[in-house]
Structure formats: structure tokens, C-alpha cells
């Protein structure tokens, strides 16, 4: 842990990793709280896995067809939006079972990504970094893009807080108040997609769901309003990314996986603590 803080002063990649963690944590806490309370973490999972297709395609076009301006992160953004729109429209039109579409997107995205990567000359290390994150390889350009996404997510989430809260809590009543429930649900999915992209740079495609839901789930136990849940979840997310990064640095562990383990252990401990407390309360009654 100590080596990390000593190294932090001298290595730019560590500073970038820390900044990325900070930026991603804010969006993560805010949108993660919506995702947890609206119970759409599997939608977030599908979007995350669908992203592999976009990243793979971007990398393929970049290397094979010389589209050098197209980075995997761009592919991730485009495919995340596409997945959010498909799931949203299916849910609104209601003609298909939503969970079937979620499962299909999940697998199709992965399959497409693996096909593209297999046809791209170069190192297969790319695949691993997409799947499990590459927070130590974030570039200056990535940081700017991440910061822009972050600002967009937070602005939308705060501006439409009351409407999104109503749609999450009681969709029917929101509709009766003249709120365009479908449009706000779509907006929520787009926010989720943007946040997933942010988090993919930190922990990778496979681990995204955990980082998106665990801080919010822990925060939900200790807060009584959605706004406070968001603030606490953001703080916890920052704590997990930073401590995970610091813990992984010395023994040279994968940062993404370490972050998730820290979050997971905290979640389990909180659950046990909460369970004991509730039982005591019942006994005392």
C-alpha cells in the first residue's frame, strides 16, 4: 500500500488511474443508485457485455482498415448507446420479453467482439484489458473523454432528479402527472450506458455490474433518500477504486479484480452487520 503512495508522485499513469477512478466513482454512485432502486442491474450487465462488440469492431477497423481515429473507447460509447436504445424500445413496445432481449444482447455482443478481435492482428492482451479493465493504461485523451461523459451524466441526473425518482418509485403515478415515462426510462438507460462505458475503463466489461451495484446497495442500507444514497455510493465507489488500486500495486495484482474484491468484501460485511443489528432489534422488542 505504501509503495503505491510513494510511486504516485513519480508515475503519471498512476495519477491518471486515480483521476479516472475519481471521475468514474461520481457517475457510478449517482447512476448506480438509480439502477439498484429501479432494479435494472441486468440491463447494465447486458449493455456492458454488448460493448465488447463495439470495442472489438473499433479495434478491427483501426488496425485492419486504417481508421486510426477510431479508438476502442469510441466503439464502446456507440455500442453502449445502441444497446440502451434497443432494450429501451423493446421494453416500451412490449412486444418481446425484455429478459430474452437482454440475454441475447449480452451474448451477441460478446460473440461479435471475440470474432472481431480474432480477425485483428496483434496481441490478444487487448481482449483481457477489455474484459478486466486497464485502468493503468488510461491516456490523456481517454481522461478528457471520461471527464466529458462524467459531466454529462451528472448534469442530466441532477437536472431530472425528481422526474427520474418518480419514474423509479411509481411509474403509474408519474404517468398520471403528465410525465413522459417512456422517454425518462430511455434517458435512464442512456445514463446507464454512459456510466457503464466509464466503469469499463476502470474494471472492464465483466466486472462492471459489481462496481455499479455494490456501492449503491451498501449505501441503500444506511440512507433514507435517493439523493443521500447517491452521495454515499459515490464516496464508497471512490474508496473502493482507490484502495483497490493501492492494494494491487505492491504485489502486482490486477487492479480491476482487486477493486471488485474490496467492494464485495465490504458488501458482505455490511450485510452481516445489518443482519445482526436487525435480529438484535427484533430480540429487544
Partner 1 sequence: MNETAQPIQSVVVIENLSFSYNGRPALTDVTAHINHCDFVSIVGPNGGGKTTLLKLMLGLISPARGSIKVFGKSPVKARPEVGYVPQHFHFDTQFPITVKDVVLMGRLCNVSCIGKFKASDKAIAARVLEEVELSHIANRPFSDLSGGQRQRVLIARALATEPKMLLLDEPTAHVDIAAQKDLYDFLEQLNKKLTVVMVTHDIGFVAPFITSVLCVNNTVAMHPTRQITGQIISELYGHEVQFVSHDDSACPHPSNCEHCQSLQREIDIASKRDTETGGDHA
Q: Which residues bind partner 1 (CB under 8 A)?
A: 37, 39, 158-160, 162-163, 165-166, 168-170, 172-180, 220, 223-226, 228-229
Nearest to residue 238, comparing CAs of 222, 253, 254, 218? 218
Shortest reach from residue 75's CB to partner 1, in Å: 32
Shortest reach from residue 29's CB to partner 1, in Å: 13
Nearer to partner 1, 41 or 163 (CB): 163
Residue 150 contacts residue 27 (beta carbons within 8 Å): yes
CA distance 173 to 103: 30
Q: Which three cell numbers stand for residue 59?
A: 479495434
Nearer to partner 1, 134 or 163 (CB): 163
CA distance 116 to 174: 43
Shortest reach from residue 92's CB to partner 1, in Å: 15
Shortest reach from residue 196's CB to partner 1, in Å: 22
Sign of CA pseudo-dihedral 209, 214, 220, 223: negative
CA distance 37 to 276: 23
Using DSSP, state whether 161 is helix, strand or coil.
Answer: helix
Shortest reach from residue 227's CB to partner 1, in Å: 9
Nearer to partner 1, 86 or 226 (CB): 226
For residue 277, report the phi and psi dihedrals to the nearest 5 degrees: -60, -45
Nearer to partner 1, 20 or 237 (CB): 237
Nearer to partner 1, 139 or 162 (CB): 162
Amino acid at each position: 500500500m505504501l509503495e503505491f503512495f510513494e510511486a504516485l508522485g513519480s508515475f503519471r499513469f498512476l495519477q491518471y488511474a486515480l483521476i479516472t477512478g475519481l471521475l468514474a466513482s461520481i457517475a457510478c454512485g449517482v447512476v448506480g443508485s438509480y439502477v439498484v432502486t429501479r432494479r435494472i442491474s441486468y440491463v447494465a450487465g447486458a449493455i456492458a457485455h454488448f460493448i465488447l462488440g463495439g470495442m472489438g469492431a473499433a479495434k478491427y477497423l483501426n488496425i485492419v482498415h486504417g481508421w486510426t481515429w477510431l479508438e476502442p473507447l469510441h466503439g464502446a460509447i456507440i455500442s453502449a448507446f445502441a444497446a440502451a436504445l434497443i432494450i429501451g424500445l423493446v421494453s416500451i413496445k412490449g412486444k418481446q420479453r425484455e429478459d430474452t432481449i437482454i440475454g441475447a444482447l449480452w451474448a451477441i455482443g460478446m460473440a461479435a467482439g471475440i470474432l472481431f478481435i480474432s480477425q485483428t492482428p496483434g496481441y490478444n492482451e487487448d481482449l483481457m484489458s477489455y474484459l478486466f479493465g486497464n485502468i493503468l493504461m488510461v491516456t490523456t485523451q481517454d481522461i478528457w473523454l471520461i471527464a466529458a461523459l462524467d459531466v454529462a451524466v451528472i448534469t442530466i441526473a441532477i437536472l431530472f432528479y425528481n422526474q427520474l425518482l418518480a419514474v423509479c418509485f411509481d411509474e403509474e403515478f408519474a404517468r398520471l402527472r403528465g410525465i413522459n415515462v417512456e422517454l425518462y426510462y430511455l434517458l435512464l438507460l442512456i445514463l446507464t450506458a454512459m456510466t457503464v462505458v466509464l466503469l469499463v475503463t476502470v474494471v472492464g466489461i465483466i466486472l462492471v455490474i459489481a462496481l455499479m451495484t455494490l456501492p449503491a446497495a451498501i449505501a441503500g442500507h444506511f440512507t433514507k433518500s435517493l439523493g443521500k444514497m447517491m452521495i454515499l455510493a459515490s464516496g464508497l465507489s471512490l474508496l473502493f477504486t482507490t484502495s483497490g488500486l493501492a492494494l494491487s500495486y505492491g504485489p502486482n495484482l490486477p487492479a480491476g479484480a482487486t477493486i471488485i474484491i474490496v467492494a464485495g468484501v465490504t458488501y458482505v460485511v455490511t450485510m452481516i452487520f445489518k443482519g445482526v443489528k436487525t435480529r438484535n432489534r427484533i430480540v429487544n422488542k
